[in-house]
């Protein structure tokens, strides 16, 4: 494994600490306020023994825990070690790996037990190291902070990063982690040409001076069944309210929720899905829904492909696009997306 390289071109032996805790600034502020409150409590009772002011001790203890908590990944090239360290004042290596036996960093999502008495699960974003040996290094509860940590670990180790979020797969070299997708295509000699239609397609493309829009049929779903199920549930609740003279407030909340999801399903599966590239942003709207996904085109760093979805992904946002059923339509959709990204990220195209 190559050692991390510094700006001077020599192998770096500096120990890198990459914080996992995203609320540490808030912890420091809250800890400082609690410490100040504890000091004021001690000061306000100068004639009493310290043991007689338990509230002050509780404030100081809470402040100490908040101020000394540490949760970070440590990359130590000199010791050939990468470790997840956690603790108060002194940190313990909860997991550690020999950097000489790993060759890449992996980011993926995993369903884990929420820890309660029921069967509820939570989504965790897991950062692992892979190679001759390896395993889970750490995890995070939020996707984009986990992506940031994974990128910083990959840079510190000078190893490629595998992104397996959404069931897709993408690999980026450590020096390319902040390089736009179109620029990486240009560097590798991959130029994106306009899609060539050689067969029947359900896609429709429209261009004007500044925008390009692709529309495609919505995912198949029976709007009639959705309306029938929604109306049946609302009717059943209304019948129970009338039959048993129930209070209207709680059943009314259920009725509104049912109507919200029923109308949403009907709108989602009506009309056509639309993917629109503007000058600086890309928008994706499913059917007739009022809401739409949006991200800046300059932020797009990866395209993840997984089953019936394409995901345009950056460091702070993503757009998840439903793929059409036919293989030709799927290929044309990807060609359209790649062509628009290349054009609008400032890279020449044919």
Q: Is 334 domain-assigned?
A: yes
Residue 314 forms part of a structural domain: yes
* pLDDT-derived band at 24, boundaries 50, 70, 90: confident
Geometric angle at alpha carbon 122, from 26 and 177, rounded to 5°? 65
Both 98 and 240 in a single domain?
Answer: no
Per the structure block, which two tokens stand in for 234? 């609302």
Give yes or no for a contact between 155 and 177, defined as CB atoms under 8 angstroms apart: yes
| DSSP secondary structure letter of residue 202 | -
Residue 38 CA to residue 35 CA, distance in Å, equals 5
Count the domains in the chain.
3
Burial class (CB in 10 A: 0-12, 13-18, 19+), 279: exposed
DSSP single-letter state for residue 283: E
Ranked by mean pLDDT, the top range of 111-120, 244-253, 257-266 is 257-266
| Pair (168, 274) in one structural domain | no
Mean pLDDT lowest for which of 17-26, 69-78, 93-102? 17-26
**Domain annotation covers residue 190:** no
* Whether residue 102 is found in the same domain as residue 166: yes
Q: Is 248 contained in some domain? A: yes
Are 242 and 166 part of one and the same domain?
no
Residue 96, pLDDT > 80, answer: yes
The closest alpha carbon to 323, from 338, 334, 312, 313, belongs to 334
Give yes or no: residues 211 and 242 share one domain.
Answer: no
Residues 6+ apart with CB under 8 A from 58: 38
């Amino acid at each position: 494994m190559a050692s991390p390289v510094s700006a001077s071109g020599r192998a770096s032996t500096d120990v890198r600490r990459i914080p996992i805790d995203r609320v540490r600034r808030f912890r420091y502020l809250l800890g400082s306020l609690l410490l100040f409150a504890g000091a004021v409590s001690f000061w306000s009772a100068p004639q009493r023994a310290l043991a007689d002011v338990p509230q002050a001790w509780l404030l100081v203890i809470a402040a100490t825990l908040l101020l000394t908590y540490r949760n970070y990944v440590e990359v130590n090239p000199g010791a050939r070690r990468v470790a997840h360290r956690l603790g108060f004042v002194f940190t313990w290596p909860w997991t550690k790996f020999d950097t000489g036996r790993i060759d890449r960093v992996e980011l993926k999502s995993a369903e884990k037990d929420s820890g309660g008495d029921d069967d509820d699960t939570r989504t965790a974003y897991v950062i692992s190291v892979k190679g001759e040996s390896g395993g889970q290094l750490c995890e995070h509860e939020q996707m984009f902070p986990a992506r940031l940590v994974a990128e910083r670990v990959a840079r510190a180790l000078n190893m490629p990063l595998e992104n397996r979020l959404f069931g897709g797969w993408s690999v980026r070299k450590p020096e390319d982690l902040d390089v736009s997708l179109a620029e990486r295509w240009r560097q590798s000699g991959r130029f994106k040409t306009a899609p060539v239609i050689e067969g029947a397609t359900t896609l429709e493309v429209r261009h004007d001076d500044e925008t390009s829009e692709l529309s495609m049929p919505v995912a198949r779903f029976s709007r009639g069944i959705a309306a029938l199920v929604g109306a049946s549930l609302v009717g059943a609740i209304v019948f129970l309210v009338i039959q048993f003279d129930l209070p209207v407030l709680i059943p009314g909340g259920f009725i509104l929720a049912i109507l919200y999801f029923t109308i949403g399903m009907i709108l989602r599966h009506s009309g056509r899905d639309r993917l629109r590239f503007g000058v600086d942003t890309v928008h994706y709207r499913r059917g007739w829904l009022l809401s739409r996904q949006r991200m800046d085109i300059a932020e797009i760093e990866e395209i993840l492909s997984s089953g019936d979805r394409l995901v345009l992904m950056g460091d702070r946002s993503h757009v998840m696009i439903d793929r059409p059923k036919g293989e030709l339509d799927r290929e044309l959709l990807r060609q359209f997306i790649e062509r628009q990204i290349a054009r609008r990220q400032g890279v020449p195209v044919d």
